[in-house]
Structure 1
Amino acid sequence: MKDRPVILLVGGEHAGTIEQEFRARYDRDYRIEPVVGAAAGLDRARDLVADGAQIAMIAAEHLLDDGTAIDLLHQVPAVVATARRVALVPFEIFADSLDDLRAATLRRDMDTFVVVPRGPRDEEFHTALIELLSEWNWSVGRPVVTVSDLVAEPGDRDAAAIRDLLERLGFPYRSLTPADDDAAAILEAAGPGAQLPVVRTHTGRTLSAATPSAVTESIYGGFDTIPDGVIADVAIVGAGPAGLATAVYAASEGLATVVIERDAIGGQAGSSSMIRNYLGFPRGISGMRLAQRSRIQASRFGARFFTGRPAVRVEPGPPHEPEHHHVHVPGAQMCARTVVLASGVTYRRLGVPGVDDLVGAGVYYGAATSMAREMQDRDVYVVGGGNSAGQAAVHLAKFAGGVTILVRRAGLAETMSDYLVREIEATPTIQVRTRTVVADGGGEGWLQWLRLRDLDTGEITKTSADGLFCLLGAEPDCTWLPAGVARDERGFVLTGRDVPRESWVEGHPPASLETTLPGVFAVGDVRAGSMKRVASASGEGASVLPLVHAHLARLRAREFGG
């Protein structure tokens, strides 16, 4: 019984109704703990934490005898930072309470608020709860049902990279050491001389000396499975929000669509712990869930995904096939009538040798949400002032003893969405150090300390550090593109009227999202002038489809002499 995560219910006048509703749906998988009153709720939460129980959710009726749900839920993070917090509002007081509830949600006093059901099968009520419980189970509770196994020694950097990949893909897995009983059969299947880390995939295949590239290729199918002579209508390079949106719309409109991704499907957005300002998700959605759902949606329309190898070259076809672009990856090539570049950006490196030597051992480029649990009660630093850095800091604060955000600027407001700035300000375990950079760092096999430089005074201070997460801003991932694709001084791809006038054809610029190479388009963060936001990247991914159709129509007309 104690092994089940706890849902703590704090009731008032409707305590009986609330308990009955929760027990009817969640009593099998969760331990339902009902109490009455705010003080009793906090006391019970403390007792549960002291007893070693995992509290998945605290749901409190809005009006209590000794306070409100807002007052109670505001105090919960000091007791258990990872529990999801929900206010349950009786219908008859909902309208009068709405302004206070909205304000409390903006202050991050709670995760959401829902109306107490007034009858059976209130699926809107349960949808809100299930979304929160799903995210808790993934980020805190760990999946109970798994489809893959990873066997590695503790502290193995390659294994840490594989874990991060599987987390970003939304692929439930077990992490084992060679000494674990369940690891013996896996190592035996890997054969004599198998090298760690060893991964058993969802298909039963066993990978020795596994790498993230080998694992992702085994999940979605290797490039070796591409049939000879197949020419896609559109090849999409990159499976972040822009590439996924292009894949969904292209495949849904009947185009033969392939997607090439070197890393995890979802791109950098896939590592975001929670995106709260994406249209249609009022309670927010994690980057992993958004990428997972988009990939499934595109696949059901017929798009094919090939992962694990980077695109290294794109070029026009030979003279007898001038309209066919060739996208090359190591050991294979893809032929397509149009190409959409959606390769996104990469995080800039710190360029501090002592720090970069510890990548994978306390130092991470990107959010690395899989490592958040490893930072329990530790001192963590986040470098960066964009939304990704803010989301990483808020997520890490649920586990770490303290999180410090380091930014070069004088504040966060210029580069971070207002909702995230407010959330950071409302989280007592997060502090922001402005005009500060990392000057040095090191440790014995794992990050242990950092030296920080104040950009205004030049003063350098040394501090202990257990984790450093670097989200330093964008560098375009397009060094592999041919010289015929024009780029700006920072390396971002130019499109439409932004391309140099000497590249215009008969005085006309390329189409709005088309590059200087006809039939090759650029969308999302890789494109010069893009907004560097998930929603805008998705919008560009959808907007490119009319341009692709127009180019395909011109090819057909040319083929038939039109």
Structure 2
Amino acid sequence: MGAPAIVIASANHQTELSEAFARYEREYDVRLVGDKISAKATAKELMTGGHQVALFVIDSDHDQDELYGLISGTRQAVPTSRRLIVTHVSRFREDNQTFRHAVAAGKVDALLLMPQGPRDEEFHLAVGELLNEWNATVAAPVVENVRIITPEKDALTRELLDYLSRVGLPAGVHHPDSEVGRAVMAECPEDAGRWPVVSSMVGWCGHCPDVRSLANQLYGRPDDIEVDEVVDLVVVGAGPAGLAASVYASSEGLSTVCLEAEAIGGQAGTSSMIRNYLGFPRGISGMRLAQRARGQALRFGTRFFTGWPATGLTPATDGGHHTVHTDGGDVRARSVLVATGVDYRRLGVESIEELVGRGVYYGAAMAAARELAGDDVVVVGGGNSAGQAAIHAARFARSVTIVVRRPDLTATMSSYLIDEIEWNPRISVRGSTRVVDGGPDDVGHLAWLDLEDVDAGTHERVAARGLFLLLGAAPECSWLPDVVLRDEHGFVLTGRDIPPEQWVEDVPPEDLATTVPGIFAGGDIRAGSMKRVASATGEGASVVSSVHAWLGQ
């Protein structure tokens, strides 16, 4: 396969754009065309020749009909590519108003002012972000940090790929008889036949029985790490709330440990593109946001122990310390933030559960979407995560159907996502509908689903090679002691939500404080939380002042 291409369509500013994109010619096949017909022909030529088109750059100087034809035509021709409109300074204000809705609805990924000279790094920062996201979600990795050797891409292999995608590690799957497969197996011949075998750049090679084993090999086994001292704060869960708390606590001098059972970023880390997070006008993937936050926290001194699920918590007595228990040992802390987030609820249909990993996935499973090119996909769920998963899947799949029990998405999904879904011709929404059955093809992969109209009770069988289940919040805090009160759904009670009989001298606890002094809760696990990335981040940051007050007593 040849180098990925950047196709630039401009009628009047070819010189300026050619000079601006000259810096990309070493790693991309940069093509300059003048009109819609040439752009379409160039894209077809590139794809026929084995190239991928990473980015279409469209100058707003075209006739408006031709311009919109270029926008829609590029999506139809190469739905996985990114689309960028550039505008000359003389018409930037006008174009900003004209194309604002197109950007908001996802018709194009960005609108930028054309470079006015050399070293316009703000422009190239935006281009770099678009290419970065394309490389992370579409392109096959050039350098593989992890190699998975297996005769077939089974359910476990897909789970490993999904985990590696969430932690930002490029990975490849190779057959044992391939050149790469033979080279890896020469390093660990004793594991031949015990698939999958995983080889990583940190020097480990061997059979990998589950995702947790992979996490422990990449980041250290729990029993290899000792935390002997009593730390100021242990954060349980590295989702948005836990990451924000880690950054702010360690930046203010608190010794901080963050435990994460699986992947940094939690459920939010599976989002393909978050467009309404403050400070990222072109959006950012959940994985990128999580890895940047982790990097900030590491810089200030937070210690992350990935692969450490909390198994219990022993509250402090007589002014002592709290103890968080893990499979690999205990962590002692003066204060604890519970930020374990939530899991997706199970569908509860036995025939569907039997196909998990073979076309059925809980969560966005971004890595799996690449394998569904030309297939029909169903996404179950009406929240923002479901909308983001549908938009990402539509870059690859022939059709995507969002299934929700409610009549429509307006009560549960952000407006910008609804607009983008309505515009996308590959996505449709079936309200008042639920999945009641499903079955495999001859090789055991999902092939069909039965959908039920919840009002009429009628059933319809539809073809589906992919089913992504994003069914809402199921709290995961069974490891907490009973003295940390939860509501009837299992979410942790904090602040004024705690029953008055638990208040001290008729004064309610602080907003994020639980029924146990020195133990706090933030993010999706907290009763009454907004279930949004930004609100979870805010809670994680604001809890640090309460931690300071507690430690100062």
Indicate the TM-score class for this superposition, using the shorter chain for normalisation.
over 0.9
Cα shift at 1:201: 2.1
Match of 1:339 among 325, 336, 341: 336
The 5 Å alignment of 1:216-235 reads 216-227=215-226, 229-235=228-234
- Which amino acid in the other structure matches residue 103 of structure 1? H
2:170 corresponds to which residue? Answer: 172
Cα shift at 1:171: 0.8
Cα shift at 1:325: 0.6
- The answer to whether the Cα contact below 8 Å between 1:453 and 1:459 also exists between their aligned partners in 2 is yes
Measure the CA separation in 1 of the matches of 2:378 and 2:273. 19
What is the SS of the residue equivalent to 1:448? strand
CA RMSD between the two structures: 1.4
Measure the CA separation in 2 of the matches of 1:65 and 1:460. 48
- The answer to whether the Cα contact below 8 Å between 1:382 and 1:403 also exists between their aligned partners in 2 is yes
Q: Percent identity?
A: 48
Match of 1:378 among 375, 393, 403: 375
2:281 corresponds to 1:282: yes
- Which amino acid in the other structure matches residue 401 of structure 1? R
Cα shift at 1:489: 1.1
1:433 corresponds to which residue? Answer: 430
1:557 corresponds to which residue? Answer: none
- The answer to whether the Cα contact below 8 Å between 1:220 and 1:305 also exists between their aligned partners in 2 is no
- The answer to whether the Cα contact below 8 Å between 1:62 and 1:70 also exists between their aligned partners in 2 is no
- The answer to whether the Cα contact below 8 Å between 2:208 and 2:214 also exists between their aligned partners in 1 is no
Change (3 A) 1:552 1:393: same
- Which amino acid in the other structure matches residue 15 of structure 1? Q
1:242 corresponds to which residue? Answer: 241
- The answer to whether the Cα contact below 8 Å between 1:217 and 1:306 also exists between their aligned partners in 2 is no
1:330 corresponds to which residue? Answer: 327
2:261 corresponds to 1:269: no
Cα shift at 1:300: 1.3
1:559 corresponds to which residue? Answer: none
1:396 corresponds to which residue? Answer: 393
2:392 corresponds to 1:422: no
What is the SS of the residue equivalent to 1:312? strand
- Which amino acid in the other structure matches residue 435 of structure 1? S
Unaligned runs of 5+ in 1: 555-562
Measure the CA separation in 2 of the matches of 1:379 and 1:228. 49
User: Following superposition, which runs of at least 4 residues in structure 1 exceed 4 angstroms of deviation?
Assistant: 65-68
Cα shift at 1:96: 2.0
Measure the CA separation in 2 of the matches of 1:249 and 1:187. 45
Pick which of 42-51 and 125-134 moved more: 42-51
- The answer to whether the Cα contact below 8 Å between 1:155 and 1:361 also exists between their aligned partners in 2 is no
2:447 corresponds to 1:448: yes
1:560 corresponds to which residue? Answer: none
2:129 corresponds to which residue? Answer: 131
Measure the CA separation in 1 of the matches of 2:389 and 2:80. 14
Instruction: Tell me the matched-pair count.
Output: 550
Change (3 A) 1:46 1:509: same
Match of 2:39 among 38, 41, 45: 41
2:528 corresponds to 1:548: no
Unaligned runs of 5+ in 2: none
- The answer to whether the Cα contact below 8 Å between 2:87 and 2:114 also exists between their aligned partners in 1 is yes
Pick which of 364-373 and 183-192 moved more: 183-192
Measure the CA separation in 2 of the matches of 1:481 and 1:191. 43
- Which amino acid in the other structure matches residue 60 of structure 1? I
Measure the CA separation in 1 of the matches of 2:62 and 2:276. 31
1:62 corresponds to which residue? Answer: 60
- Which amino acid in the other structure matches residue 164 of structure 1? D
- The answer to whether the Cα contact below 8 Å between 1:382 and 1:406 also exists between their aligned partners in 2 is yes
Pick which of 529-538 and 144-153 moved more: 144-153
What is the SS of the residue equivalent to 2:385? helix
Pick which of 9-18 and 521-530 moved more: 9-18
2:259 corresponds to 1:254: no
- Superimposed CA distance per residue, residues 296-316 of structure 1 (whole angstroms, 9 cap, x where no aligned partner): 111111111112232111112
- Which amino acid in the other structure matches residue 524 of structure 2? D
- Which amino acid in the other structure matches residue 149 of structure 1? R
Cα shift at 1:228: 5.3
- Which amino acid in the other structure matches residue 409 of structure 2? L
- Which amino acid in the other structure matches residue 62 of structure 2? L
- The answer to whether the Cα contact below 8 Å between 2:276 and 2:283 also exists between their aligned partners in 1 is yes
2:197 corresponds to which residue? Answer: 198
Measure the CA separation in 2 of the matches of 1:16 and 1:414. 49
2:498 corresponds to 1:521: no
- The answer to whether the Cα contact below 8 Å between 2:105 and 2:420 also exists between their aligned partners in 1 is yes
What is the SS of the residue equivalent to 1:276? coil
Match of 2:347 among 350, 368, 377: 350
Measure the CA separation in 1 of the matches of 2:294 and 2:218. 13
What is the SS of the residue equivalent to 1:338? strand
Pick which of 97-106 and 341-350 moved more: 97-106
Measure the CA separation in 1 of the matches of 2:206 and 2:510. 45
Pick which of 441-450 and 526-535 moved more: 441-450
Pick which of 217-226 and 179-188 moved more: 217-226
Measure the CA separation in 1 of the matches of 2:48 and 2:2. 14
- The answer to whether the Cα contact below 8 Å between 1:38 and 1:64 also exists between their aligned partners in 2 is no
Cα shift at 1:317: 4.2
- The answer to whether the Cα contact below 8 Å between 2:191 and 2:197 also exists between their aligned partners in 1 is no
Measure the CA separation in 1 of the matches of 2:170 and 2:126. 22
2:410 corresponds to 1:410: no
1:314 corresponds to which residue? Answer: 313
2:80 corresponds to 1:82: yes
